Amino acid sequence: MAKMIYYYEEVKSVKEYVRILRLFALFGQLGFTIVTPPVVLAILAHWLQSRFSLGGWVMLIAIVLGLLASASGAYRFYRRVCAESEKDQKDTVVFYKHE
């Protein structure tokens, strides 16, 4: 009996550890989704300016498009996390709800 309780506690701690690692991965992905588009487009705009002698308007357009892409990516990320959260809540067994 003591071994069974120890095993249950071990499985419970491993599940908690996996959940924490998953949250770190999600926050890392969100940061990457927000930061990458403006930076990449700013680098591309700088290259276009130096290569073709374009004005400063190229950088402005690139930054605006990058911010819009970041906002879109963050919104899609938020919707996916909410959908997964709802799925996890539906999978849990609740004994006090009678439908």
Q: Are 40 and 66 in contact, with CB atoms under 8 Å apart?
A: yes
Taking the complete model, does pTM exceed 0.75, yes or no?
no
Q: Are 46 and 37 in contact, with CB atoms under 8 Å apart?
A: no
* Greater model confidence, 12 or 45: 45
Q: Are 45 and 61 in contact, with CB atoms under 8 Å apart?
A: yes
- pLDDT, one tens digit per residue, over 45-93 is 999 999 999 999 999 999 999 999 999 999 999 999 898 888 777 766 5
Domain that holds residue 87: 2-91
Confidence of residue 41 (pLDDT cuts 50, 70, 90): very high
Residue 43 falls inside a structural domain: yes
Q: How far is CA 42 from CA 9, 74, 98, in A?
A: 50, 19, 55
Residue 19 falls inside a structural domain: yes
Number of compact structural domains in the chain: 1
